[in-house]
Structures are given as C-alpha cells and as structure tokens.
Structure 1
Amino acid sequence: MNLYRLLQQRAEAGKPVRVGLIGAGKFGSMFLSQVPTTPGLEVAAIADLSPDRARAACRGVGWTEERIAATRFVDDAGAMIAAPNVEVVVEATGHAPAGIAHARRAIREGKHIVMVNVEADVLAGPLLAREAAAAGVVYSLAYGDQPALICELVDWARACGFRVVAAGKGTKYLPEYHASTPDTVWPYYGLTAERAKVGGMNPQMFNSFLDGTKSAIEMAAVANASGLTPAPDGLVFPPVGTHELAERLRPGNEGGLHHAGQVEVISCVHRDGGAVKNDLRWGVFVVFEAPNEYARRCFAEYGVVTDASGRVSALYRPFHLIGLELNVSILSAALRKEATGAPSGFRGDVVSTAKRDLRAGEVLDGEGGACVWGKLMTAGDSVRCGGLPIGLASRVPLVRDVAAGQAVTWEDVRVDVGDEAYRYRRAMEGVFAEG
C-alpha cells in the first residue's frame, strides 16, 4: 500500500531506483513504456543482442531522444549487471540458460533480480532463490505476469486465514493443441502466416502458449513459490467460468481437482469448441474455504458467491497487464527488500513430452517447437523418471526413439555435461532431492 510513497521519498532525495534491463522485447518494451511516468524510477542501462533494436523499442514506446541519449545501450549483459549504478536487474530474455547465468551474475554482484524469464525460474529457480537469499538480495517473480499475480491471491487468502483449495489462471485449450507446431499454429489463432509475419509475430513463441507448454511452466512456477502442488497427471484444463469456480474446482467433483491445494488452468472453451460462459481467458483466480461456521455465515451476510455448501468461494482478476505492471516487482525489491513471489521449494517441473513419434538422430527444437511440448509434473515424478526439462530441450539430439506422448528423459538425449545450465539444474535436483 505504500510503494509509491517510498518511491517519492527516493525521488525527493535524488536517489532514484536504477534498473538494468536485459532484453527489450515485448515484455521489456511494456515496462519501458511506464518509466517516463514513474518519477523516481530510472533505467540506467539496457542490454540486448541488438542495441539498435533496443533503442528503436524505446522510441516505439514514446521515449524522448533526450531520455534515450541518457541511457546506456550495450550487448554485454554481464558488464551491465556489474555496473555500480544498477540496483535492480530485470531478466527478460525468455532464454532459460541465459537467464540462469544472468541471475547468478546479478546475485554475485549484490543486485536484486526480477525474473521475467519464467522458463529459467522453472528450470532452476528454487536454487537461484536460495543462492540470492544467502547473498542478501531479492530474487523475485515478475508482477504483471500471471504467476506473481496468482501468488498474490494465494498470499491474500492465507493471510486472511482461509484454506486455499486451488489457484491458477485461464487460457484457451483443446486437447489437439498439444500436437501443434510452428507450421500449424496460425489457424488456431485465426490468422494466416502472412498476416502474422507482417505483425512480427514469432510462430514458435505463440505455439508455446497454444500447445500447453507455457501454462505448464507458469503453474510450475506457482507451485514452487506458493507450496501448492500439481495433480499427478498434470494439468486437466477443465472448461470453467468464473461463476463456477467455487463449485467446480473442488476435489472429487467431475472434471474438478485431484486434491485440495492444487494448481490448475481453466479453459475458456468447451471440448467441442463452444465458448464457456463468463470465461477467464486472460485472468487469474484463487479458490478458498471458510475455516469455520462463523466465517461461512459472514460469507452469506456479505453477499459472497459460494458453492452449494456456502463454505467455498473464489476471488479472481479478469486480466493481467504484463510488463505494464512490472514496476511493482522492481520497487518491492528495491524499497521493501521483498519479492512478489519467489520459489521456496521444488514442487513442480515441466518435462519435454513427444508431440509425435520421435526418432534417434532428430534434434529437439525446444519450447513451442515441432518435437515436444512441456507437461506439468510433480518434481518428484520428474526426477524419478529422469525427465528432460523443457528449458534444456533446444538443439539436443536424440540417441533413441521416443513414442508420441511419452516423456523424453536424460537417457534419450545427448547433452553437453559441461554446459553450465545443465550442471546447475542437476545440482538443484540434488539439493532438493530429499524434499
């Protein structure tokens, strides 16, 4: 409730919160658009593989030439992180191995790290968060992205004394989407390839949202940060409207939950493609339960919408503003020394799963590609089966066949055991194996 007041104090003292941004893509650009209207917040430097593209992004969101000239643009993220005038690092590349390297460098340099890169967070976030805590810096999920918003709702419910029954987000889902590839993705969005190209839309990125991978990644992040857990068979994607959340998302209900305290994603369409009434395609939710009879009566007295028992209700937010809300994480880290969600354990994982029969010698093409989609699993099940994390499934050759629908394992691929991201991930599995 007081972030803006704290920021004003920094502005009045002439000590603005200075940010180093890595990656000036869509998320980064949305954040950059808010900087001119946030006194006390400055972007000291932007690291991007193409500094000229980053400058163009700044112009595209309305920055003045004066502001652009006062900002350092570099292609060396490591050097930028080490710069003494950077207080908070925002990692927005979307590349999991790079995200791990950047986060570890920020931690070593004593900088707070806001991890927009949820792929990196799911790959090794629990160990990164532990490393950051030991160094006395904040490691945080990115507010505006759905995982942090879900964690906020979960935190609200628990702080009020309610038991959390379920939490998650909405999306558009049909079972056939799991087999989608970058070559087949655009008709599902009602677009032609030509139109998408004109709009600068990346088919592999959009396919990762469609084929279920992004939903799995985001729910794994929520599980690791909140203590909620996935169902044993992963996401079910039940078609549920906001008016049905409390009634449908309960253990034992048809199409409902496997257990209380579960992460789940709900679909805005029924399995026949028909629209769900009061859908939550762009939003997030938490389902919670009154702890006693008195609280149940209060629900009735104050018009709370509940299930038939009167004890279970739901709170939801119908949309999220992505990078336009990122300031909340940056300011929370810098001014409160508090994360807007951070992994506290290794509970959920996302395992590469064959979209079709794969043959030895093929090279996997990563998240959103033509070979695999990411399936949400409990961390225990993932480690026991030796599942290949989706964050390390790019440019990896298969050494044996994998049937459609089967998990790809470490033994199915040839990995570079000297790769730093691989070694850090395996180290995390070892550290959290007991839990």
Structure 2
Amino acid sequence: MNLAAKLIRRAEEGRPVRAGLIGAGKFGSMFLSQVRTTRGLHLMAIADLSTERAKAALTATGWDADAAVASSFEDARKSGRVMLVEDSEALIRADGLDVVIDATGSPAAGIRHALLAAEHGRHIVMVNVEADVLAGPLLAQKFERAGLVYSMAYGDQPALVCEMVDWARACGFRVVAAGKGTKYLPSYHASTPDTVWSHYGLSPEEAKVAGMNPQMFNSFLDGTKSAIEMAAIANGTGLKAPRGGLEFPPASVHELATVLRPKADGGALDEAGMVEVVSSLRRDGSQVENDLRWGVYVTFEPADAGGRGDYARRCFREYGVSTDPAGRVAALWRPSHLIGLELGVSVASAAIRGEATGSPTAFRGDVAACAKKPLAEGEMLDGEGGFTVWGRLMTAEDSLAQGALPIGLAHKVKLKRPVEAGAILRWDDVAVPDSEAVRVRREMEAMFGERAAAA
C-alpha cells in the first residue's frame, strides 16, 4: 500500500523507474496518458512500427510531443524525454532501462521481446496475454533464473483476478472460483470479422471511423479472448481449467456466489477451485440485470473443515457479504477494470518491489484452435478472431495428450487435411513453419510434459 510513496522517493532521489513501451496501440496509449502524471515513472522510449504513430499517440494522450521527443537514448535517459524508435531490440538494449512493456498483441513478437529482455537484464510486463498463454510458463522460469520479474499487466483482467485470488488465500479462505464477465451466447463462436459489428450494435462504417479492428473485436466476442485470459489465470493461480471448456453461465453480481460453486451444491462448476467466465446475457438473449460484463470476481468459502467455519459465515451475514443461499460461499467483485490506465502498478512493482502482479507458475491451462466451420485441405488458418478458428480453453494435460494446436500459432499456417467444424485442430493437421515461437512453445511442451509424466 506504499507503492506511490516509493515512486515519489525514487523521483526525489533522481532515479525514476525507466520503462520502455513496445506498441503504441490502445493499451499502450492508455498507459501513456497516466505515466505522464506519475511521479517516479519515466517513459524512456517507445518502439512502434511507425514512429509517426507513436508520436500521434503521445499527442492524443496529452503530451507536448514536439517537446517530449528525445534525440537519442542517452538524451532520453538523462533528460526525462522520450526516444521514439521502430527497432524494438534497440529499445530493449538501451542503457538505463529498467522495465520492458510488451503491448504488441503478437505472440511471436512477445516471445522474442521477452527473451531479449531476459538476456539484457530487464524486467518485463507482458500485456501481450497471447504470448503469455503460448509460452509464459517457460518464459517466467527463464526470468526467475535470471533474477528478473516476468509480470502480467495490472489493469488487464488476468492480473486483477490473480490479485483477488491472492487476497482470498492470504485471508485464509478457500477459492471456489475466479474469473471475469463478458457478453456471450453460444452462437458467437461462429462469429467472423464480417458479422462482428452487428453483435456490438455498430455498422462497419461506424467501427471504421472509430478505428476499431474487426478481427480483434471478434476475438472478444467469439470466446477466444476469454479462453486466453482464463488460461493465464489458471497458470498464475493454480486454479483448474474446466475440462469441457468454458461454460459461460449467465449470472448477475448478486448471483455469483450461487452460480460459481460446484454442481453438487447447485452451482455451475464441475468442482471447486476453477476458472470460469459469466455471461451478461441469458441464453434467450435477454440482458442480465446487474451484470459483470466489464468486471472480475472471486467466490470463496471458509477453508476449515467439520463445520468450524460457522463463525466466518456468520460474519459474512453480519457485514452484508453476498453469499449463496446456504451462506457458505461468498463473492466479491470489481465491476470494471481500467486496462492500460492501471499499468503503472505493474511497472513500479517489478522495478521497486521485485514482484510480479501475477505470473505463471506452471502450465495448467491452454487454448487450442477449434474449427469455426468445415475446413478444407490446403486452407490457410487466419488466427485469433478470424474466419477459420476460435480459441477453446483446455487443461494443459488434455492439450498435450491430444497434440492440440495452440491458438497463438494458428495464423498463416496451411491445413494438410480436412477438419470438421467444431473439431480441435492438432499439430499434425497443419504445416507449421519453423520459427522462434514454435521452438519455444515446443520446449515448454517438452518440459512440462516430462514433469507430468514423472508426477
């Protein structure tokens, strides 16, 4: 609770936390708007494929871009100005940099930036949850061995959920479920970039004017992004991924404790200790009142056995905590998240405390590519949010046993055989070209597969 004070002390001592941002898109821009006014944080550099786009992002978020842009990394380090470059590796190598922020959204780029950051002694905040789910458990180990921090991004839902789970356990409670809310209907799994805007109540023209990417927004809708985020939470907390994939049960905030408990007790979970996403829509398409579409939650219960948790349950009742009908399972939630506006918490925590705001500790959850339609031999997959596949949450154990193709590698790869609609794609179904991302993923699969076999 003293992170701000520690940042101010760093500012007064003339040694601010120096961060480098890779990717000046929406998430990165939200960080830009706040780092400008956070004492003790210095944005030393931005790497983007277009320095003009990076400069425009500075202007849009309140900076005097002409005055803020540095002439060199040395100038940026000493003056407090910002160096703009297109070469992300040059940013990572720059003297004086403390923390790298990857906000690219590209799994391959995220893996490359993480490996470079570890090599050059930089902490990393992985906004890029796609890269984190593809290879994060292995990357986090590499950073730990190097004495560095590999962190999820505070403000994004996985890190916020990890914090809530940690809070519950630190209080001595048993976590029953944790996750987030979203807008979901089963038909959304078949959504494509051509159909996405109707589900958001927008025309393609309105979306284009707003600069909204149809494939990215379709990933939010078709279940892929939810699966990716829940896999990240499972890997970071030890909670289990449901073996049949996410159920997306409808629930209001006042129904969380009732719905997010085991089926044996009248809830929607296979067992206690799982990740799950709740829908803001009933299955008939009607709106859930008091929904959690933009928020996160945790359900929990007293951890002691034999009825000795009666005192805690009585306290739930006395202090107005939302519970299930039996008064045993309780729920807390956060109705919204501020995404990149909160990212500075992760940067400061990594550099000052040496702590991550969530980090994978094992390979527990995975996201496999699942066919949206019948796919023909020779067809090219177009990845997350596209026309061909959506991402389905699996346990890592099942993913490894089935040889499932991770959604993060299901982009620009060609099918070697037909695949039925609804089927999980496998490595053997596609011709995957060799790449750093493929090699790192295969290394992770081998490492954790060997551990599972030895357990």
Shared fold by TM > 0.5?
yes
Map 1:357-372 to 2 at 5 A: 357-372=374-389
- CA distance in 1 between counterparts of 2:356 and 2:147 reads 12
- CA distance in 1 between counterparts of 2:48 and 2:131 reads 17
Measure how far apart 1:301 and its partner are: 2.4
Instruction: Indicate the residue corresponding to 1:192 in structure 2.
Output: 203
Corresponding letter in the other structure for 1:61: T
Corresponding letter in the other structure for 2:274: Q
Match of 1:276 among 264, 276, 288: 288
- CA distance in 2 between counterparts of 1:223 and 1:391 reads 17
Query: Which string of whole-angstrom CA distances, capped at 9 and with x for unpartnered residues, describes residues 252-298 of structure 1?
Result: 15561111000000000101110112100000000000231221222
- CA distance in 1 between counterparts of 2:211 and 2:319 reads 48
Q: Would you say 1:415 and 2:416 are equivalent positions?
A: no
Map 1:333-348 to 2 at 5 A: 333-348=350-365
- CA distance in 2 between counterparts of 1:304 and 1:282 reads 21
The number of equivalent residue pairs is: 434
- Does the residue aligned with 1:114 lie in a helix, a strand or coil? strand
Match of 1:301 among 297, 311, 318: 318
- CA distance in 1 between counterparts of 2:137 and 2:342 reads 24
- Does the residue aligned with 1:44 lie in a helix, a strand or coil? strand
- Does the residue aligned with 2:392 lie in a helix, a strand or coil? strand
Measure how far apart 1:300 and its partner are: 2.2
- Does the residue aligned with 1:296 lie in a helix, a strand or coil? helix
- CA distance in 2 between counterparts of 1:260 and 1:254 reads 12
Are 1:231 and 1:377, in contact at CA under 8 Å, matched by a contact in 2?
A: yes
Map 1:256-275 to 2 at 5 A: 256-275=268-287
Instruction: Indicate the residue corresponding to 2:24 in structure 1.
Output: 24
- CA distance in 2 between counterparts of 1:101 and 1:370 reads 27
Map 1:188-267 to 2 at 5 A: 188-252=199-263, 256-267=268-279
Are 2:105 and 2:128, in contact at CA under 8 Å, matched by a contact in 1?
A: yes
- Does the residue aligned with 1:364 lie in a helix, a strand or coil? strand
Are 2:158 and 2:229, in contact at CA under 8 Å, matched by a contact in 1?
A: yes
- Does the residue aligned with 1:375 lie in a helix, a strand or coil? strand
Measure how far apart 1:79 and its partner are: 1.2
Match of 2:344 among 322, 327, 343: 327
Measure how far apart 1:305 and its partner are: 2.2
Instruction: Indicate the residue corresponding to 1:426 in structure 2.
Output: 442
- CA distance in 1 between counterparts of 2:431 and 2:259 reads 43
Corresponding letter in the other structure for 2:439: R
Query: Which string of whole-angstrom CA distances, capped at 9 and with x for unpartnered residues, describes residues 58-92 of structure 1?
Result: 10111013223431111111111011121100000
Query: Which string of whole-angstrom CA distances, capped at 9 and with x for unpartnered residues, describes residues 82-113 of structure 1?
Result: 11121100000000011000001001111000
- CA distance in 1 between counterparts of 2:36 and 2:29 reads 12
Report the identity percentage.
65
Map 1:70-85 to 2 at 5 A: 70-85=81-96
- Does the residue aligned with 2:36 lie in a helix, a strand or coil? helix
Distance of aligned partners of 1:384 and 1:391 in 2 relative to their CA distance in 1, 3 Å threshold: same
Are 1:118 and 1:217, in contact at CA under 8 Å, matched by a contact in 2?
A: yes
**Structure 2, gaps ≥5 residues long:** 71-80, 304-308
Are 1:140 and 1:341, in contact at CA under 8 Å, matched by a contact in 2?
A: yes
- CA distance in 2 between counterparts of 1:20 and 1:42 reads 9
Instruction: Indicate the residue corresponding to 1:350 in structure 2.
Output: 367
Match of 1:181 among 184, 192, 197: 192
TM-score (norm 2): 0.94
Instruction: Indicate the residue corresponding to 1:376 in structure 2.
Output: 393
Query: Which string of whole-angstrom CA distances, capped at 9 and with x for unpartnered residues, describes residues 201-252 of structure 1?
Result: 1100000000000000000000000000111101000000110111111111
- CA distance in 1 between counterparts of 2:314 and 2:247 reads 32
Are 1:238 and 1:255, in contact at CA under 8 Å, matched by a contact in 2?
A: no
- CA distance in 2 between counterparts of 1:20 and 1:303 reads 44
Are 1:351 and 1:377, in contact at CA under 8 Å, matched by a contact in 2?
A: yes
- Does the residue aligned with 1:37 lie in a helix, a strand or coil? coil
Are 1:58 and 1:68, in contact at CA under 8 Å, matched by a contact in 2?
A: no
Q: Would you say 1:119 and 2:130 are equivalent positions?
A: yes
Match of 2:414 among 380, 394, 397: 397
Corresponding letter in the other structure for 1:405: G
**Structure 1, gaps ≥5 residues long:** none
- Does the residue aligned with 1:432 lie in a helix, a strand or coil? helix
Corresponding letter in the other structure for 1:384: A
Instruction: Indicate the residue corresponding to 2:78 in structure 1.
Output: none
- CA distance in 2 between counterparts of 1:296 and 1:141 reads 33
Are 2:258 and 2:266, in contact at CA under 8 Å, matched by a contact in 1?
A: no
Instruction: Indicate the residue corresponding to 1:151 in structure 2.
Output: 162
TM-score (norm 1): 0.99
- CA distance in 1 between counterparts of 2:214 and 2:288 reads 26
Corresponding letter in the other structure for 2:110: G
